[in-house]
Structure 1
Amino acid sequence: MLASQPRGTLYIGVTSDLPGRVWQHRQGYVDGFTRRYHVHTLVWYEVHAVMDSAILREKALKAWKRVWKIRLIEDASPIWRDLYPDIL
């Protein structure tokens, strides 16, 4: 999950290369939503053993209410710390 700022715009996606994909978003190489709304800070991620379970979780999170997503992030990091350095 990427965010533009604490409690800002959120983006949820799935990838098999998290460091690479976040780097692409941060560099503005991904055209569309994340570039348009400056959504570049990695604030939440989960590791899944298989892509099928990751896709199911992505769809579930996208269906969540915004307040639930914010609570998920803030339970782990009340200051919305950028997790990108942790995955490098």
Structure 2
Amino acid sequence: MGAGAGFEGAGVPAVWAVAVLGVVAGVGVALAAYGRGRLAVAATLAWGLAWIAVARGTGDPASAPTALAAGVAAALVLAAAAVARLRRPARA
């Protein structure tokens, strides 16, 4: 066993990681929609997800599926915030 927290994930820890990152992306999209595209919230979440992608893409334990899922999740959160921001009504 390599470096890590010791969680074996029933033999498929990458599946667990991708599932959790999917939930995080869903929460981020919901926050973007509910918060009307607040950039600070989206940027903070995307920053964390991007560093997960970097860590799993270059570090140990390396996991390409986790790195890809974290990168996609970060992009989705930022895109949802941008769309929500563009759709909100203009201030009078």
Q: Quickly name the TM-score band, shorter chain normalised.
A: under 0.3
Bigger helix share: 2
Q: Which has the larger radius of gyration?
A: 2
User: Which structure dedicates a bigger proportion of its chain to strand?
Assistant: 1
